[in-house]
Copies of this chain bind each other. A is one copy, B any other.
Amino acid sequence: MDSDVDRGSGTGRSRIADVAALAGVSPATVSRSLSGQGNVSAQTRERVRDAARRLSYVPSPLASGLASGRTRTIGVVVPFLTRWYFGSVVSGVTRVMEAAGYDVLLYHLGSAADRDRFFARMPLARRVDGVLSLCMPLTEDHTLALRALDIPLVSVGSRMAGLPSVCIDDVAAAHAAVNHLINLGHENIAFVGGIPDDPGFGFVSSELRLRGYRSAMGAAGLAPPSALEVFGRYGIDGGATAMARLLSGARLPTAVFAEYDELAFGALWSLRRAGLAIPQDVSVVGLDDHEMAEVLDLTTVGQDAASQGSLAATMLLETLDGRSDTPPTDIVLPTELRVRGTTAPPRRGVGVVPST
C-alpha cells in the first residue's frame, strides 16, 4: 500500500472537489489530469496527482460511468464455472481485462431458469461496455435481446450468427479423435456425449462434435448403430453413467470417443470398475486436454481454452477502444491430437463381453 497518508480516513471517501480544493484547481482540471484526456500543463497535472494521492482519491466508477457513458466494465456470461473449459476461458478473460483496467461482471447461468430470469431482468443494460458470451445456449429471442443492448458482443466457444467469435473447429476436432481410433483399426466406436438437464440448454459444440463423429464414421464406411451414441449429464458423473449404459449393452464397443475430457474421465472410471483393461479391452479418447488428462494418461484432442478467453477479451477491447480497423472476425484456434496411453489397436478376434 501507499506510504503514509490518509491512513484510516478511508480509501475512496474523498470526492473530486476535495482534490480540486487541495490542488487549487477546478474539478474539471482534476478530471482531465487524472484521466489523461484533454490538455493539462505538466505542472498542474503533477500537482493534481499529488493531491489525489494524498487523499487516496479514487474516482467513483458509477459517477464517471454515468457522466461519460463508458463503464469500463464488461460482462461475461457462462453456463458453468466448475468445468475446466469455462474456468480456463474466464481466467484468460480476466487476465486481459484486469491489465486493461476493466472490471468484469460475472453472470453464471447454469440452467434455463437462471438464464430466463437473467434475460427478464437484463442486468447488463447500461452497466457494461461489452459482453462475452461463453457457449451460452441462447434462443433467437435471447440473441435479439443481447443485440438490442447495442454494445459489442463476442462469442467464445461457439459461433453466433453475425457476431465475432473465437472457437475451435469442433467438427474437425471430433474427426481427429475418431480418425485416430479408425486408424488404429477400430470399427466399433461409441460416442459419449453430454446432455443438459433442461431441454433447450444444450451446447452447440456438443452437436458439432456428434456430427463430426458421425461423419468420420460415415467417411470410413462405418455407419454406427445409434445404440452406440450414449449420453449423460455434463460432468464426470455423466460420462460414468453413459459408459455404464454402453457396458450393459449387447455388444461392447472396442473404442469410445467422449465429447470432452471430463466425460472421458467418467467413462474411464466406469470401465475400470467393470474390470476392463484400458486400452486393451477398450480404447478411450477425449477432447480438451484438460489438466487431468495427462495424469490419467488420456489420449485427447487438445484445445487452448485460456487463449480463447484472452483472445476474445482482446478483440472486445479493440472494438471498445475504437482501434479495431479490422471487421468482426471469427477466429478459429487449432486443436491437436495428443496420443497417450488410453488408445491402442483393438484386440484381434472375438469381441469383449462385458463382465457386468
Contact = CB atoms under 8 A, between A and B. Distances in A.
B127 A295 contact: no
B60 A122 contact: no
Nearest 9 Cβ contacts at the A-B interface: A12-B125, A1-B141, A94-B108, A58-B125, A82-B87, A106-B106, A269-B295, A11-B148, A60-B126
Contacts of A8: 144, 148
A157 interface: no
A127 B10 contact: no
A interface, size bucket: 35 or more
A120 B12 CA distance: 12
A262 to B, nearest CB: 9
A170 B10 CA distance: 33
B103 A105 contact: yes
Contacts of A81: 87, 90-91, 94
A145 B105 contact: no
Nearest to A295: B269
Interface string A100-139: 0101111111100010011111110111000000000001
Interface stretch (A29-37, A62-70, A171-179): A62-70
Contact of A82 (B63, B88, B105, B127): B88
Given A82-B91, A98-B114, A126 B61 contact: yes
Nearest to A72: B123
A278 to B, nearest CB: 13
A236 interface: yes
A148 B128 CA distance: 26
A51 B227 CA distance: 53
Contact of A1 (B10, B88, B98, B119): B119
Contacts of A95: 108, 110
A108 to B, nearest CB: 4
A11 B149 contact: yes
Contact of A142 (B1, B90, B98): B1
A90 B60 CA distance: 26
A193 interface: no
Contacts of A71: 62
Given A66-B66, A103-B107, 13 more contacts: A7-B144, A12-B149, A58-B121, A58-B123, A60-B125, A82-B91, A90-B106, A94-B106, A98-B108, A98-B114, A103-B123, A236-B295, A265-B295
